[in-house]
Amino acid sequence: MHAFPHLYSVTAGADPGSPVTLNSPGLASLSSAAPKEFDGPGNLWSPETLVTAAVTDCFILGFKAIAAASKFSWTSLETSTEGTLERIEGKTRFTKFVTRATLKLPAGGDAVRGKQLLEKAEHICLIANSLNAERQLEASVTVG
């Protein structure tokens, strides 16, 4: 890992009739628009879906790092994360993120340890830790 602080840069542009084009050095461009809940087209990534995606992506990447450091064998990890957006005291904000994780282990795997590592991954997620919202993890582990 590189020394802190880390700097991440994104540029964006749009015209009145187009989606927002997001760019970051070395990455593919990404188109974004308002979600259908805000009268957008509903067929492009939106700031709301990008934030929710960042929570679930960070969770998986955190788990991968923890599992590797712990020399923990696993077969697959599938997640889904739902972000709840509400209007509170005149401000629209995320109030809750629920991440559902299904971890599959090889035969003979330690399900209790797997669940502990999932909980640790949720706890260390820098994206979720940066947000002011309730967090909930619903984890299941299967062996074999």
**Rounded distance between C-alpha atoms, residue 26 and residue 16, angstroms:** 27
6 located within any domain: no
Domain ranges, residue 124: 47-143
21 located within any domain: no
Structural domains in the chain (count): 1
Q: Would you place residue 9 in the very low, low, confident or very high pLDDT band (cuts 50, 70, 90)?
A: very high
Instruction: Write down the pTM of the prediction.
Output: 0.93
CATH of the domain at 129: 3.30.300.20
40 located within any domain: no
Q: Which pLDDT belongs to residue 61?
A: 98
C-alpha count within 13 angstroms, C-beta hemisphere, residue 32: 17
7 located within any domain: no
Q: What mean pLDDT comes out for the span 59-72?
A: 98
Q: Would you place residue 81 in the very low, low, confident or very high pLDDT band (cuts 50, 70, 90)?
A: very high
Q: Which pLDDT belongs to residue 124?
A: 97
Report phi then psi at 84, rounded to 5: -100, 120
Q: Is the pLDDT of residue 1 over 90?
A: no
113 located within any domain: yes
pLDDT in tens, 95-136: 999 999 999 999 999 999 999 999 999 999 999 999 999 999
